[in-house]
Amino acid sequence: MTTNIEEIIENFAYLDEWDDRYRYLIELGKSLDTLPESARIEANRVMGCASQVWVKTDISNINGQRILTFSGDSDAFIVKGLVALTLALYSGHTPAEIKDIEASTLFQKIGLSDHLTPQRSNGVRSMIERIKRDASAAELSNPITQPS
């Protein structure tokens, strides 16, 4: 996915009707690379979502800092869009930054929090909790050392 969170926020601001926003959310989901079957494993499945959702966490060392990058997928169109939105918000950050990001602020800003069903809201919450758990685990694991 090449869309960053700032671009997503701008695009939501241009869309007045919720039908258009939902269509945009579906388009965001379509822009996600399909998660390979090898990553659709139980360890990557997000519990608490009514639809099937998988989130894979990759940790890299960039300038001596751990950076987490997330990829994901879902079997439902709107949910896949929510996955894309969430991954755009959290990918490319350090564990400490991820722990400080409040998705609820973004969801309120773009008006999404008022238009999600309780079931979808719970699923998004589960996905964010999973991402933050992975960030905490990455922060606590052995330090990454730079090659000499």
Residue 7 φ then ψ, to 5°? -65, -40
Of residues 49, 84, 85, 128, which has the active-site annotation? Answer: 49
Whether 49 sits among the annotated catalytic residues: the reply is: yes
Distance CA 122, CA 131 (A): 14
Distance CA 127, CA 114 (A): 18
DSSP designation for 141: S
CA atoms within 13 A on the CB side of 100: 5
Residue 112 to residues 44, 53, 85: CA-CA distances in angstroms?
Answer: 25, 19, 11
- Tokens at 79, concatenated: 């949910």
List, by residue number, the catalytic residues.
49
